[in-house]
Amino acid sequence: MMKYITILIISFQFIAFSQETELSSSEATKFRAMVEKGTKDLKSIKTDFVQNKHMEFLTNDIESKGKMYLSAEGMLRWQYTEPNKYSIIFKNEKIYIDDNGKKSTVDGDQKMFQKISKLISGSVKGDLFDDDEFDIRYFKKGDNILVKLTPKNKAMTKYISKVVLTFPKNDSTVSQVKLIEPSGDYTLITFKNKQLNVPIDKSVFSH
């Protein structure tokens, strides 16, 4: 009997932990102010990431690993290291691609890349709270704060139906970005070994 009661208590605790509750308006304002204050003086971000693509018909997610570098000037290097070496630098409205040593440049007219660049850098930096661009709702889940952004822009909704940012407790930068597609499939990016305001060598953003 005791065994069942213990299981029941653990189950309730698990349910309570995994439940999402929406923040009140004042809690959301307070959280937003904390993020904006924390990222205002942000000079750079250097982090590892794990990218998991989930598709409804696959048993296993497709995993890629890499590193991300973001400078205060808005330069972004998104570098895959596993299983393939491939990096993309977003700099001065241009996209520089290094495909395992084969280099190419694309003028910044590739809308999807630009959107993703803005989305990633914006979400990591915390300046994605644009009420004109997104419907934004704030939730608490365990110790984390989840920010759910639904794009208002029709062009963007073709690619992404929702973005969910996960902020660990008292952290002004995200630990996870979930990009949900109109089909329900999603890409989950988890940042690890994040370093803020560390010097990043200029060569990281050179092509």
Partner 1 sequence: MFQLTRAYLVISLSLLSLFACKSYQIDGELVSKDVEKTLVLPYFNETGFEYLYSGKIEAYGNSLNGILVVKKISETQKRVALLSDFGNTLMDFKIENGEVEVNYILEDLNKKIIVKKLKKYFELLVNSEYQVEAIYKKEGENIYTSKFQSKRVKLHENSSGTIQQVKQVSRLKEKVEIEYFSTSDIADSIHFKSNEIPFEMKYYLRE
Taking the least distance from each CB to partner 1, the nearer of 80 and 139 is: 80
Q: What is the DSSP letter of 202?
A: G
Neighbour-count burial of 78, counting CB atoms closer than 10 A to its CB (0-12 exposed, 13-18 middle, 19+ buried) = buried
Binding residue for partner 1, selected from 23, 95, 187, 191, defined by CB under 8 A: 187
Which of 28, 31, 46, 51: binder of partner 1 (CB under 8 A)? 51
- Comparing CB distances to partner 1, the nearer of 176 and 187 is 187
Q: Which is nearer to partner 1, 25 or 60 (CB)?
A: 60
**What is the DSSP secondary structure assignment for residue 203, as one 8-state letter?**
G
For residue 205, what is the DSSP state? G
Stretch that binds partner 1, among 9-17, 25-33, 156-164, 197-205 (CB under 8 A): 156-164
Q: Which is nearer to partner 1, 26 or 100 (CB)?
A: 100
What would the two tokens of residue 48 be? 């590892």
Contact 91, 79 (CB under 8 A): no
Say how many residues make up the chain.
Answer: 207
> How many residues bind to partner 1 according to rule CB under 8 A?
29
